[in-house]
Structure 1
Amino acid sequence: MEFGLLGAVEVRDEGALVDVGHVRQRSVLAALLVEEGRPLPVDRLLDRVWGERAPLRARETLYGYVSRLRKLLGLDIERSPAGYRLAVAPSQVDLFRFRAFVRDRDFDAALGLWRGRAVDGLESPWFDALRESLHAERLAAELDRNDAALADGRHAALLPSLRVLAGEHPHDERLAAQLMLALHRSGNDAEALRHYEVVRRGLADELGVDPSRPLQDVHQRILVGSGEERPAGPRQLPAPHPWFTGRTDELAALDRPGTVVITALGGTGGIGKTALALHWAHRHLADFPDGQLYVNLRGFDPSAEPTPPEAVLREFLEALGEETIPAGLDARAARYRSLVAGRRVLVLLDNARSTEQVVPLLPGPDATVLVTSRLKLAGLVAAHGARSVSLDVLDPADAREFLVARLGPARVAAEPEVVADLVSWCGGLPLALSIVAARAAMEPGFPLAAFAAELRDQPLDALDTGEIGTNLRAVFSWSVAALSDEAARAFGLLGTVGTADISLTAAAAVVDRPAARTRMVLRELENAHLVQQHVPGRYRMHDLVGLYAADLAADAGTRLADFYAATARAAALMLEPHKPLPEHQSSHALTFDTNAAAMAWFDAEHACLLTEQRQALACNGFDVVWLIGRALNNYHLRRGRTTDDVEAWLMALRAAQAWDDRLKQSAAHRCLGADYIELGQSALGHEHLERGLELCEGDHEAQGGAHRAIAWAAEFEGDLEKALEHSLAGLEQFRAAGHEVREAEALNEVGWRYACLGRYAEARTFCEEAMLLNTRLGHAEGSAATLDSLAHIAHHDGRHADAVAHYGEALALYRELDNSAEEATVLEHLGDVHAAAGEDEPARERWGRALKLYREQGRDAEAAALEARI
């Protein structure tokens, strides 16, 4: 299947045109295709398709469009919290084929893909801007093709198209110069000079500027009878890397016009800084007719000191034809700037160690400078106006294309799953991919699975070629050698962290330093591109960098596990102050003043908490395993994360079994039973619930909890009589235990089950008693649940105003508690009350908000049922 954006949006299946539907549906497809496999947030997708003219229920409409595109085209459109992602190969989309041809300088093939006006027929502010950008890319390709044709002596064949283009773009000075050269070489100097005069007057009248220096140079050369350029300057660039892949956004960033001419390219060792700089430079050779200067500054070379600027200036001056070299740094720098002034020169300063090493090598404003370094060179950006382009790893699609380019499509296609493993283990790091590809190329008879197995078992050893420049450990070591002792120690300790990322406070616990000092150390590691602050306050390492760091690590002990367990306990007690939790100590543990702060911490650290729980289980840290599982329970309930709750409780159950603690095992079984029932695994759920009841014999509070869980499961499955029976049994046990908080919750649950059976007088009696007890105890979550029950009772008693008031109070409490799961349920019920009273608009508004929350929480059954009712 092929997709066309360079003209009207179209889809072809084995060459046959497929009807994609109406204009908005085509707009959704085009907006997803342009992302090249990256997820697109829903809000951004809505803006692209409609702009400010989105309909009232745009999200629901969008869901319908996506669903129809999936069915119509059989497309893999994934939905995640990051948005929608359309997975198609770049070779299937004409736009990405166009860009690939341009990178390979096959301009005829690239321009042959255009069928007319880009994304023709799609109208929104975003599509208008996209169309303008794509047409600018097309014009740039046409101008590059013209340069190549002129260099090959094809000026006569080029003249017709140059005249047409010049008429369409009267102020494009590069195009004007091309037309003038073609006319001159065709023996028509008079027309060339007339065209210059037309362009000159147009620029003066409409823009108030004179022609640029390059256009004036062409004019002057024609006037004196020679269209040939002045003698070429130095040509010092090394050859480009033959298998360069991807980096579309970074190349586009380097192409941006403007007065900023210095670009600092940063990135960790092996990320591909030099390859990017050389690739861009060779694509733009025609922009620098006066020469290209190159030097390796050896900023991180283990066998030599960084090259001093004085030595570099001597080499540059000699390359520029200077016979007498001044003594001293300042004199050489001044002479260098004088020689380069007014000339279109590219200066590539590779592998810089510091801003101080680079500054004397900066020419005047007419030249372009590329600087690569493992450091961010903030001084170069701040004081000298450099534009910073920091490289990340290659995405999986580009990494695969790299292997295709290096090993050939047949070998890669023969083992697709193995190639996916190789890409995953290399983590998109170009040096790692290069090493794997080189080893595979040297052993053409070996299956790629052999290299994948070695990478899986010993990643760093598999990426050791025995040669300094292509040994991943050696490359990383050069960056670490430049660190302070404190930062090097922190680097090793952070390598022991098994989570995908880490917060500043967690990092402080790992390195055992105050947060303010830890921030400074992390800044040094960031500057060396050994860690990345991918969102404010959270840090991560590339997987291979992390493995190398772990090899250097001193023992971090259990500091991170203690931090997570103690802080999770503090957050859980903020949410449920009446729930007893075992003590756990950490000098770095956080405290919380509000429910919102505790929930926000759980939101940010959820993945890290589950990872730490798994690691603690593997190390027999059963106290941490139990505490994290117990602490997460209420958070999971509030966020509707039932599957995550199962994972946490299964680990907690193993910890309780290792301790042979019957009551802890009972608690885990009870929670697992309720979770499995909710997930539709009824038989498994009942096994856990029955085991939970067996294990707590003799303990009133635990028995009350077991009956409570069984009652909830019975109601969920529609057996209301059984639910009431176990609710009453649970209330009796909580009263016997003297646990007033649980008694208040049980009173409400008994009242709710009476209400579900239509016995509203008895229901109201129990719920009002529960409300009094909750109010006396200050139990906000219990009060919210009871208000929900009282609202339901009022609704079915025909007391509309009371029902709306109770639901409103419950909603306010759940929002204060940041309990979005119950918020969604209350919103649905409140919508029901408004609908019963004939208030259609408020009903639709409440249902719409409930539906949005259900979908965000992954509660597909509730969402489907509500959508069907609406």
Structure 2
Amino acid sequence: MLGPVRAWLGDVPVELTSAGRRAVLGLLAIAGGQPLGQAELIDALWGDRPPPSAPNIIQTHVKHLRRLLEPGRASRSHSALLPRVGDGYALRVSPDNLDLLRFRRLLAEAATAQQGGDPQGAAGLYAEALERWQGAPLMDVPLLAGHPKVVALAEERHAALGRYGELMITLGAVAEALPILEEAAAAQPLDEAGQARLIRAYAVAGRRAKAFATFHDTRRRLADELGVDPGHALSAAHEAVLRDPGEPPAVPAATPKPPAPVRPTPAQLPADVPGFTGRDEELAALDRLVTENDEQLTAVVIAAVSGMAGVGKTALVVRWAHRARSRFPDGQLYVNLRGYDTEQPMTAEDALAGFLRALGMSGPDIPSARDERAAAYRSLLDGRRVLIVLDNAASADQLRPLLPGTPACAVVITSRDTLPGLVARHGARRLVVPLLPRDEALILITRLIGDRVRDDAPAADDLIGRCARLPLALRVAAELAIGRPEATLRGLVTELADEDRRLKLLNAGGDPQTGVRAVFSWSYRQLSPAAARAFRLLGLTPGPDVAGHAAAALLDTGVTEAAELLEVLARAHLVQHTGADRFTLHDLLRAYAVNLCEEIGDGSAALDRLFDATLFTATEAMDTLYPAEQHRRARVTRPRTPVPPVGDVGGAQAWLDRERANLVAMVGHAATHGRPAHAVHLTLILLRYLESGGHYPEAVVMHEHAVRAAQLSDDAAAEARLLTNVAVMDVQQGHYEQADALLRRAVELARGCGDHAAEARALGNLGHVDQWQGRYDEAAERLQEALALCRLTGDQAAEARAVGNLGQVYRRQGRDEQAAAYLSESVRICRRIGDPVGEGYAQVSLGDVAARQRDTRRAVRCHREALAIFRRTNERAGTALALDGLGTVTHDVVFLREALEIFQQLGERAGETRVSNSLGEVLTTTGQPERGREEHLRALTLATETGDRYEEGRAHAGLARVAEMLGDPETADRHRTLAWSRYAEIGAPEAEEIRSIIDRRQASGTPHR
């Protein structure tokens, strides 16, 4: 299990074909012989949304595992290997038969040897323990990648690597320790102890420049991502290197600082509530909290505004926030946490992603882990005066990651809960919003209804009582009165009393919200049948809001009719405007609408229509943006209802941007509510949009849901395609090892189910990983396999990409004529099938070939053609590549700076590495060697972290040129030797050129160090 989940009977491998089976076996193996209850297994596999058949599915998985692992066991006899314990199961195997237990036992023996004065023996035991690992734990079960016990296993290995590395430094075996310490440091770049250990090892090995570079990179990373300075361990390691005489640090003592970025000022407050009445005391109380904050800037002021549902907490806080916004010049953040939404409460991770974007962080830069997002959020708020409104919170746990660390900010929270944990631990000041005082309630309905309130004061008083003095209920009731001008106020109150009695009879349990439900029911019963049906069905929408075309699909009507019904509901205060043509429901009203749907039973067909229409529109939008890939997308039947205009690039992009939050919510709902095909298809369709826009957090969430849906429905073909998608995103972010493991699994799945198209795509991307890491022969072999499968399936778009990627591999190997032939063929195919994006990438590579052949005019022409294509198609990564090519050929730093900014925004570390080296070369060539060295050092750090051997060699070659210009031949020789070593490892043609320089220096008698 320390790697892919594998099992053997003796020496015979056992075929664990189902992902669910591997997951169950892996979880039981982690438990180390201890039983796991059914609830724990269900939670690990399905989270909060298990299907009704979850216990049966687990039982089936265990039954199959017993059959595979105990083939000789008699039917219905007791299982010794997988016995049932309580309502769960245990895996009972010898410690020598489970790699995890063997690993832990070896670690214990190593610790004992070390304590007993046998460091050599301890080192051997540590090495043997680490050899047990064949990859990330349970690496072929992605749905468990984030499970706490799996994450803890990875931490065990990281700790063992650290202990082993420390011991090897003590023993003086630094050469053997460095690869281990580099791996541990790269895996956890924010682990100061691990980075300090690596710095000390570099110093002992005489690689002081590398030690200094590691310190400076780590210090910069800590400042950028966590907003902190180096701690004691890191600082001590740095000071030790400084005290040791030797060559000066390679990183300049004072690097020029780039201009401070312009930070956006968010303004996310919702619109103020019209007709707001009263609440002077509560508004004054909030004012006092902020005044205290002005006077005593020692801690973040947190106001926890609590009260029952419908009491007007949000209206109060929004009114106050608009009044107070001038006190927060750096902006206002707002999020509806939907804490009491039974379907889609917002997670802290999602809320943090939204806040980070509002504060200027691009999607790809947003960390995946909650704690890292929270740290980045606190860093961006540091020193700023921002108001944060956290609306509709369910618990303190949901809130804690969203609290800033700077006292200049203020936080206002609304919740039905009094949040005692937040008060006790974080010093939140509690403000309880009572029911609207009777006199203020009277003012409110008088303002809304008018003279009839004055004409019948007793009836008005009864109406206030029936509405429980809740502003939401009063507004709903008032709207009904306005809509029936001929009725007396007394008559309406009598109807409401009758409805109240009916609901109380139906609710023998004494629901405290019965009075409010009566108001809702009273208003609902006055709606036309069409409007009543619209209200019921709108409560089912998974996302935060709904627009006109989506409402039309849900209601099975035209867009105009749907819009009219929505306006009727808005006038009745049963839905709320959130923007032009967009509406949402208060959570109380949503719950009421869902209850009505359950009673009547007309919700399932409506959701089918909504999901089908959304899937069709998403397909149409992606066909518009990426027409050459239409054949890869499953055809969806056009719905009866109209669809949004997505036939042009602008319309398609705008619809996807507007609906992104709803699309993510739909995938989650579909995966957990019996619509796995919708979850899978929608996710597969949207990949290119998500990756090109840098929407990685959303992409990760959607793929987690979709992979789980595919696995639990045993759809191996879909799982293979989804895993390839995840791997593509990993590649773009420089996570090559993760991508490699996922792609190997995807190939295995695709071959198992005979899906040649999925196999070709996975193989092609495996070739791409090999290329980036300098394994050119393996890359070419895999791409040739992929090309054969593309031609077999007739997928010309995939064929063009495979041919183009082969051209890139041959270009890296210096086989320019062969590269040009393949790349030209890719251009021809792309033009024939109408794939401008594919053509653009091939043109960039043709420009690179021309540049190597010193044909500057042709290189510029190719890069300009590519740039025009990419700008026209809004392909940002391609735009950056074309700009890099143009800047390199023309020595134009402006082009290169723009390319670097795009890659940084997209989080594409491979592209960032390439452009940093290009910048270094151009700056050095144009007489700015110090600035060139800075760019090459950055490229070297990135290339080392991601394993890009070609760009690592390129960085060393650039640093050698810089050192020559600065009169430091010894440093130049060292970097030149390292450049030759990296190029020679991967068979790059640059190795010969550098070798010849080294040979000339040696022949001339110049010592080469």
TM-score (norm 1): 0.49
- Which entry has the higher C-alpha Rg, 1 or 2? 1
TM-score (norm 2): 0.43
